[in-house]
């Protein structure tokens, strides 16, 4: 099974802008409005969370007979505030993923930085991180912090799929249109429905997930002029393929 969420999209925001015209501008305005609304929600939510913390401290010192039930209810309020704060944070990242500045850089270096970050966790879980990075890989135009955020999300998902150990293989190589990364894990895999919907905003199979991690990853790839596809099978693992264009060479 192979699912590519961007079969009829790509390659770059400028082309989309020219092709879609007023529709794209309308979407852009709606995204800005949604981002502003998220900010407006975030502020009073922080006040609610802060006051719930204060109320919890007062209840701890209280001798009121209904103290235990009240603390339980305040804890529920705090948990839901925390959940909404995380959702808003992820949504703002998703909404802001546009007009990023790209400079020439090494894709291999970005990958190594992320793998070094996760090496202690992988060792603890018994997951082998296998690296096969093409030493002659050409540079691409990238935004380091955003690209690392996308790679971190994918590696994190792979490790979560292998709680009892396994292998995560990452390789880079040249393709006719540019360069590519394969990220292959031996984890639990996913069914076809999940693989088809995993890039949809707010779709998540995790109880505490916002459903914006992989859609944000996809937007980051598209902002780099690239694309992401996935193959997966339950019980056998998952393979992500990330493709990036290389800058045109001047003769």
**Given pLDDT bands bounded at 50, 70 and 90, which one contains residue 158?**
very high
Mean pLDDT of all residues belonging to the chain: 79
Q: What is the dihedral of CA 70, 74, 80, 82, to 10 degrees?
A: -160
What pLDDT was estimated at residue 111? 95
Quote the CA–CA distance of 161 and 187 in Å, as a whole number. 5
With 70 as the cut, is the pLDDT of residue 1 above it?
A: no
What's the CATH number for 13-95?
Answer: 1.10.287
**Other CB atoms within 10 Å distance of the CB of residue 26:** 11
Confidence of residue 151 (pLDDT cuts 50, 70, 90): very high
By DSSP bridging, strand 178-185 and strand 237-245 are antiparallel
Q: What is the pLDDT of residues 199-238, one digit of tens each?
A: 776 666 665 655 667 888 888 888 888 999 999 889 889 9
Domain boundaries, the chain: 13-95, 103-245
Look at strands 127-132 and 166-175 and give their pairing.
parallel
Distance CA(87)–CA(90), nearest Å, equals 5
What three-state secondary structure class fits 205?
coil
Cα(155)–Cα(115) distance, integer angstroms: 8
Other Cβ atoms closer than 10 A to 62: 12
Q: What is the largest CA-CA distance in the chain?
A: 82
Of 106, 119, 116, 93, nearest in space to 38 by CA: 93
Residue 18 reports pLDDT greater than 70: no
Q: Is 61 exposed, middle or buried (0-12, 13-18, 19+ CB in 10 A)?
A: exposed
What is the CATH class of 103-245? alpha beta
At 19 the pLDDT is 40
Residue 118 CB neighbours (<10 A): 19
């Amino acid at each position: 099974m192979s699912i590519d969420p961007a079969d009829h999209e790509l390659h770059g925001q400028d082309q989309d802008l020219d092709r879609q015209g007023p529709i794209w501008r309308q979407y852009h305005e709606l995204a800005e409005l949604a981002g502003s609304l998220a900010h407006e929600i975030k502020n009073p939510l922080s006040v609610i969370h802060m006051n719930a913390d204060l109320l919890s401290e007062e209840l701890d010192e209280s001798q009121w007979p209904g103290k235990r039930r009240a603390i339980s209810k305040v804890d529920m309020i705090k948990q839901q505030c925390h959940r909404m704060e995380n959702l808003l944070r992820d949504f703002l990242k998703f909404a802001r993923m546009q007009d990023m500045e790209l400079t020439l850089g090494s894709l291999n270096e970005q990958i190594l930085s992320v793998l070094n970050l996760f090496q202690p966790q992988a060792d603890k879980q018994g997951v082998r991180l296998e690296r096969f990075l093409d030493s002659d890989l050409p540079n691409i135009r990238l935004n380091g912090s955003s690209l690392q955020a996308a790679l971190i999300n994918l590696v994190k998902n792979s490790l979560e799929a292998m709680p009892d150990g396994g292998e995560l293989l990452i390789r880079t190589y040249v393709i006719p249109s540019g360069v590519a990364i394969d990220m292959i894990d031996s984890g639990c895999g996913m069914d076809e429905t999940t693989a088809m919907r995993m890039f949809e905003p707010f779709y998540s199979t995790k109880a505490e997930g916002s459903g914006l991690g992989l859609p944000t990853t996809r937007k980051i790839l598209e902002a780099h002029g690239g694309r992401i596809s996935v193959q997966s099978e339950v019980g056998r693992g998952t393979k992500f393929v990330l493709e990036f264009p290389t800058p045109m060479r001047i003769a």
